[in-house]
Amino acid sequence: MVKIGVLALQGAVREHIKAVENCGVEAVEIKHKEELKDVDGLILPGGESTTMRRLIDKYDFMDALKEFADEGKPMFGTCAGLILLAKNLVGYDNPHIGVMDVTVERNSFGRQRESFEADLEIKDVADCYPAVFIRAPHIVDVGENVEILCKHDDRIVVAREGQFLGCSFHPELTEDYRFTSYFVDMVKEAKTKKSE
């Protein structure tokens, strides 16, 4: 049985916990870096990326998050979480965790009041998925090993690179758990491979 953590420093933590549990898997809030060793996969939720980075530094999470990635454990960044995973950020010299070979632009769909919903076709996930965009970033460019899973208005909004999954929107804010289920399957596969 797999256990999935949700980084619980800021953002829609409870909603992600509920989404993971609805996929039939145990979910736990990660508030201390030591707890990372107990989970098989990690969700980095939406929120405010600058605030999240400040809290990652304050609670000394950065090295532990990079080690988690180095161990081959899957990580799923949604909205601000995608910004944390990206190796390159438009207008910034340094990334945050910087493990996913994508370039991301913050707030590229406008401010809070320009939030919107869109039905997306996401490869291997759904033909019609209700996505909630709130001050969303988008992926400007991807490295050669990154698979683009979805675009909206010609902008990349979902991508995967091996164990890393990132999206611009908030899958936890709907009752549709297919996208979370896709990540749960990634975690199960990674754990099975490790034990072989």
Q: How far apart are the first and last CA of the chain?
A: 15
172 is an active site residue: yes
Catalytic residue among 16, 138, 152, 170: 170
Which residues sit opposite 116 in a β-bridge? 133
Rg (the chain; Cα; Å):
15
User: Which residues lie below 8 Å from residue 6, measured CB to CB, with a gap of 6+?
Assistant: 13, 16, 17, 20, 27, 28, 29, 30, 42, 43, 45
Catalytic residue among 34, 114, 172, 196: 172
105 is an active site residue: no
Catalytic residue among 79, 105, 150, 167: 79
Q: What residue spans of 71-175 are helical by DSSP H?
A: 80-85
Spatial distance between the Cα atoms of 101 and 21, rounded to a whole number of angstroms: 29
Which residues sit opposite 164 in a β-bridge? 75, 161
Task: Give catalytic residue positions.
Answer: 79, 170, 172
